[in-house]
Amino acid sequence: MDLYINKYSYIAPGRIYPNISCESDGLSSIYRALNIDYPKFFKMDGMSKLGFLAVELLMIKEERTFNPRADIALICFNSSSSLNTDRQYHKSIFLDSYYPRPSLFVYTLPNIVTGEIAIRNKITGETSFYIFPEYNPEQIVRTVRQTLDGKPGHTAITGWIEYSDNVHEALMMQVSNRQESSADIPFSPEKAGELMQHLRSITINQ
């Protein structure tokens, strides 16, 4: 089955694709620029906010119906799991100030971001999370291909959601066997690698 990247989105400090005008770099600023009404956003940890927004950007031109979609698989990858939030939770259990915070603990798993995206977009198909040392297009293409195998017509929303102290970066792609436009990119390791390289190097613009 030939697969295509139908559309993609990217968020990193100072780089957002599709480009929208935001007051600042911060994730809350992107949220406001997107004009979404979703108060739960403010309860999320950094990684969940990042992933949530990357999918909102991915869907920016879509008419959102929010009907349950069992035909969409949400497959995400990163390197640090939920380590950023893990460290924050751990501060709440320091020996000299022991107040374990459940509102933080619930976010100490990498697949909570896939849960948040699934809730927002009503994705009832497969949601999965895998950990690799770095953005690995070969592995991502292989995993997505294997997940969609035997499910023609299904769609994968897939990508890299990395939120750590020094860097936040999300690349999300919609992948399917449909060629939705001439701009679609073949979903191959080479093309998925080139796409990330290109997005990582585009000039900072607001």
Contact flag: residue 200 with other proteins (CB under 8 A): no
Question: Of the listed pieces 4-12, 27-35, 68-76, 172-180, which binds other proteins according to CB under 8 A?
Answer: 68-76
Among 1, 20, 60, 70, binds other proteins (CB under 8 A): 70
Tell me the number of residues near other proteins by CB under 8 A: 50
Among 95, 96, 166, 181, binds other proteins (CB under 8 A): 95
DSSP assignments along the chain, one per residue: ---EEEEEEEEETTEEES----SSSSHHHHHHHTT---GGGGGS-HHHHHHHHHHHHHTTTSPP----BTTEEEEEEESSTTHHHHHHHHHTT-TTS----HHHHTT-STTHHHHHHHHHHTB-S-EEEEE-SS--HHHHHHHHHHHHTT-TT-EEEEEEEEE-SS-EEEEEEEEES---STT-EE--HHHHHHHHHHHHHSPP--
Contact flag: residue 55 with other proteins (CB under 8 A): no
Question: Residue 77 is encoded by which pair of tokens?
Answer: 């990858």
Contact flag: residue 98 with other proteins (CB under 8 A): yes
Query: Are residues 167 and 12 in contact, defined by beta-carbon separation less than 8 angstroms?
Result: yes
Contact flag: residue 93 with other proteins (CB under 8 A): yes
Minimum distance from residue 100 beta carbon to other proteins (Å): 4
Among 64, 90, 198, 200, binds other proteins (CB under 8 A): 90
Contact flag: residue 68 with other proteins (CB under 8 A): yes
Query: Are residues 56 and 122 in contact, defined by beta-carbon separation less than 8 angstroms?
Result: no
Minimum distance from residue 42 beta carbon to other proteins (Å): 14
Minimum distance from residue 94 beta carbon to other proteins (Å): 10
> In the complex, which residues of this chain contact other proteins (CB under 8 A)?
68, 70, 74, 79-81, 83, 86-87, 89-90, 93, 95, 98, 100-102, 105-106, 108-112, 114-116, 118-119, 121-133, 136, 139, 142-143, 145-147, 149
